[in-house]
Amino acid sequence: MPGDNRTDPPSLGTERETLRGFLDYQRATLAMKCEGLGDEELRQQSMPPSTLSLLGLVRHMTEVERAWFRRPFEDNDAPLVWSDKIDFQAAYDASASTRAEAFAAWEAEVENSRRIERQADSLELAGYQPRWDEEVSLRMVMVHVLVEYGRHNGHADFLREGVDGTVGA
């Protein structure tokens, strides 16, 4: 895997700085797991019947960013990128997707999520999460998305190793 360009989360900091730092670290980890791979390698699936691939994970995390930042805090009716039925599994089918397409969508959603977080006066900001039909705080959203990245970055470790034998970080 090419060099590790991730910024470590703060060892000391406010709650917000810590959440932001760990979330950005996990985002950078997903990107790092995909570095140096072409479309074909990024679409390589784990094992039948699973359709999971690195590109599918990038697409899925695009949906997660949108569903947990944009929908509660900006537009409850914002459609998902790859599904008009709010089907998070649809993003995993990356068979016709490209690195450029998937990463452009993911990076745009990440930037939107960062903007929402930066503009919020506090982590107590409440938004309506249509998927759960309840109010959620920005704090809860940041923790939830952080956990999603951690979970899926574990999948990315195995997927990357399966593609070219690269392990670590």
Instruction: Give the tens place of pLDDT for each residue, 32-81.
Output: 999 999 999 999 998 888 889 999 999 999 999 999 999 999 999 999 99
Domain boundaries, the chain: 32-164
CA 16 to chain centre: 19
Residue of 139, 138, 27 lying closest to 73 (CA atoms): 138
Report the CATH fold assignment for 32-164.
Four Helix Bundle (Hemerythrin (Met), subunit A) (1.20.120)
pLDDT of 169 over the 80 cut: no
The H or E element containing residue 134 is strand 134-137
User: What does the DSSP assignment read for 66-113?
Assistant: IIIIIHHHT-TTPPPSS-TT--GGGGG--TT--HHHHHHHHHHHHHHH
At residue 2, the pLDDT reads: 57
Phi, psi of 84 (to 5 degrees): -90, 5
At residue 85, the pLDDT reads: 77
CA distance 165 to 28: 20
pLDDT of 90 over the 80 cut: no
At residue 122, the pLDDT reads: 96
Contact 144, 134 (CB under 8 A): no
